[in-house]
């Protein structure tokens, strides 16, 4: 990684992102946003979709990498591709439906037709190109140069080189393992459908908030009180939960110390065993009683995988910036393979928290939009990041941790952000290939 001092934009950013505060303009400046697209969204690994969304050969779903529209396809051999949704003739959008099953895509403008691998199959009236053999010389659909998946989570990078996905995920990979272990079959499925929730706020407001343990007691007090949820208490000064920087800008609120203190299988989900007997039995049959109970006591992760995948115990958010002050959250209820009784409850819970009339997401959205309007005001210019700085320490794995309400996660996110943003862009241009 090389940094350059001749890059005035990098020098400006270093003055705006400090270890204990950030300048308000990082949320509002269109030039900074443009650089984020290049240095972060179109360079690093970005979560695109889950393999369970394209279960059958020739299935496809429309997905996003920031403002870029892509199509995630499973070809007839089972391989997954991430293609730009842009016809190689004159640039029309090729796919319009959110999902479908098709071995090939036909552009609606002039009929150029592409395989779901991106290859150009043909076009109308081929004499205009000197015959159908011309298709070997003409480009197909653009493809993400790198696509890799971990436990069914499909990520793409629009840069031809860089760290591997597993290097990028680092310690966050184990959090996805922890999530998958909650399925008796070791797999999650994202089949519950999506809510798309747009806010007029910068994407980093969302990333920071996802592991901000300081706000839940205030912002979410009404849903906690009417639902009788004990979650609020986990984010208090007395809580043994920790906020952890996992490296690579990934962060988590690790509530498992509190769940272990509670010591009740599925206590983390607020669901007594008696309500989900089939699930509990299937878990014990798969893992053995002791391990199953340990898994069900420890619960699900609350992890923000930089820059756009947030797993919040029972729901999954995909963050998509559209503009410096516009962001979409794509939200779904996580479903565990082999757990129909649990899954039904999870969908109901998610409808209440993040559905169209859900209260948790609405609470946070209100804060994002107020915050975006707030940082546009002139004074004071800085946002404070010092909470818990004096009590940060290293855990046994060498990760920086703070208490449940400390801003350890934000400071770690910004450190990583600055590293990406000041890096010279070497070999990180989107693929020149057709």
Partner 1 sequence: MEDVVANEFATVAVSVDDRGNSTRLRLEDLRTGTVRYLDALELESIVWAPEAWMRALLDPSQHRWRDADRGPAQESLDP
Binding at 89: pick from Fe ion, partner 1, ligand FES, none (beta carbon under 5-8 Å per type): ligand FES
Q: Which is nearer to partner 1, 49 or 321 (CB)?
A: 49
Q: Which is nearer to ligand FES, 112 or 259 (CB)?
A: 112
Which of 10, 82, 107, 347 contacts ligand FES by CB under 6 A?
107
Can you list the positions of beta strands (E) in 37-194?
46-50, 59-65, 68-74, 80-84, 99-101, 104-106, 113-115, 120-122, 146-150, 153-157, 188-189
110 binds ligand FES (CB under 6 A): yes
Q: Torsion angle of alpha carbons 154, 355, 58, 430, nearest 10°?
A: -40
Query: 255-259 contacts: CB < 8 A, separation 24 or more?
Result: 255/299, 255/302, 255/404, 256/298, 256/299, 258/234, 259/297, 259/298, 259/299
Helix (H) or strand (E) holding 17: strand 17-18
Binding part of the chain for ligand FES, among 67-75, 89-97, 165-173, 331-339 by CB under 6 A, reads 89-97
Residue ranges in 73-102 that form contacts with partner 1 under rule CB under 8 A: 76-77, 97, 99-102
41, 402 contact by CB (below 8 A): no
Which of 87, 143, 159, 305 contacts ligand FES by CB under 6 A?
87
176 binds ligand FES (CB under 6 A): no
Other CB atoms within 10 A of residue 143 CB: 22
Q: Which is nearer to ligand FES, 91 or 193 (CB)?
A: 91
* CB of residue 360 to Fe ion, shortest distance in Å: 6
CA gap 420, 250 in Å, rounded: 13
Binding part of the chain for Fe ion, among 244-252, 326-334, 364-372, 387-395 by CB under 5 A, reads 364-372
Q: Which is nearer to Fe ion, 364 or 406 (CB)?
A: 364
240, 257 contact by CB (below 8 A): yes
Which of 112, 214, 235, 414 contacts ligand FES by CB under 6 A?
112
61 binds partner 1 (CB under 8 A): yes
From residue 95 to residue 134, the character string flagging contacts with partner 1 as x (rule: CB under 8 A) and all else as - is: --x-xxxxxxxx------x---------------------
In sequence order, which residues have a C-beta less than 8 Å from that of residue 367 and are 6 or more positions away? 209, 215, 219
Cis peptide before 310 (omega within 30 of 0): no
* CB of residue 94 to partner 1, shortest distance in Å: 12
- List interacting residues with partner 1 (CB under 8 A): 53-61, 76-77, 97, 99-106, 113
């Amino acid at each position: 990684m090389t940094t350059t001092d001749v890059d005035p934009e990098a020098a400006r950013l270093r003055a705006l992102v400090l270890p204990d505060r950030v300048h308000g303009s990082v949320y509002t400046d269109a030039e900074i946003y443009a650089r984020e697209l290049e240095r972060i969204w179109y360079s690093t690994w970005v979560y695109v979709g889950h393999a369970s969304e394209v279960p059958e050969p020739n299935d496809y779903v429309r997905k996003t990498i920031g403002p870029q529209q892509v199509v995630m396809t499973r070809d007839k051999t089972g391989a997954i591709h991430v293609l730009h949704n842009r016809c190689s003739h004159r640039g029309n959008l090729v796919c319009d439906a959110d999902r479908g099953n098709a071995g090939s895509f036909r552009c609606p403008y002039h009929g150029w037709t592409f395989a779901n691998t991106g290859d150009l199959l043909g076009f109308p009236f081929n004499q205009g190109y000197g015959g159908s053999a011309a298709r070997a010389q003409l480009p197909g659909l653009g493809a993400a140069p790198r696509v890799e998946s971990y436990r069914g989570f499909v990520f793409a990078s629009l840069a031809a080189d860089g760290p591997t996905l597993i290097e990028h995920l680092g310690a966050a990979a184990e959090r996805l393992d922890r999530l998958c272990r909650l399925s008796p079959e070791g797999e999650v499925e994202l089949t519950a459908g999506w809510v798309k929730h747009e806010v007029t706020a910068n994407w980093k407001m969302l990333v920071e908030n996802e592991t901000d343990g300081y706000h839940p007691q205030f912002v979410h007090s009404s849903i906690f009180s009417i639902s009788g949820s004990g979650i609020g208490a986990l984010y208090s000064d007395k809580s043994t939960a920790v906020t952890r920087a996992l490296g690579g800008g990934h962060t988590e609120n690790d509530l498992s110390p509190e769940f272990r203190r509670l010591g009740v299988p599925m206590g983390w989900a607020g669901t007594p065993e008696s309500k989900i007997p089939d699930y509990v039995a299937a878990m014990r049959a798969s893992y053995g009683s002791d391990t199953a109970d340990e898994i069900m006591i420890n619960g699900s992760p609350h992890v923000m995988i930089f820059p756009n995948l947030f797993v919040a115990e029972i729901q999954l958010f995909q963050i998509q910036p559209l503009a410096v002050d516009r962001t979409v959250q794509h939200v779904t209820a996580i479903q565990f393979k082999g757990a129909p009784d649990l899954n039904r409850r999870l969908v109901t819970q998610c409808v209440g928290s993040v559905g169209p009339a859900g209260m948790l997401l609405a609470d946070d959205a209100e804060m994002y939009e107020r915050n975006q309007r707030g940082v546009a005001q002139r004074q004071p210019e800085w946002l404070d990041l010092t909470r818990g700085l004096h009590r940060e320490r290293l855990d046994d794995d060498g990760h920086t941790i703070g208490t449940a309400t400390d801003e350890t996660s934000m400071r770690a996110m910004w450190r990583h952000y600055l590293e990406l943003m000041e890096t010279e862009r070497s070999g990180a241009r989107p693929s020149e290939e057709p």
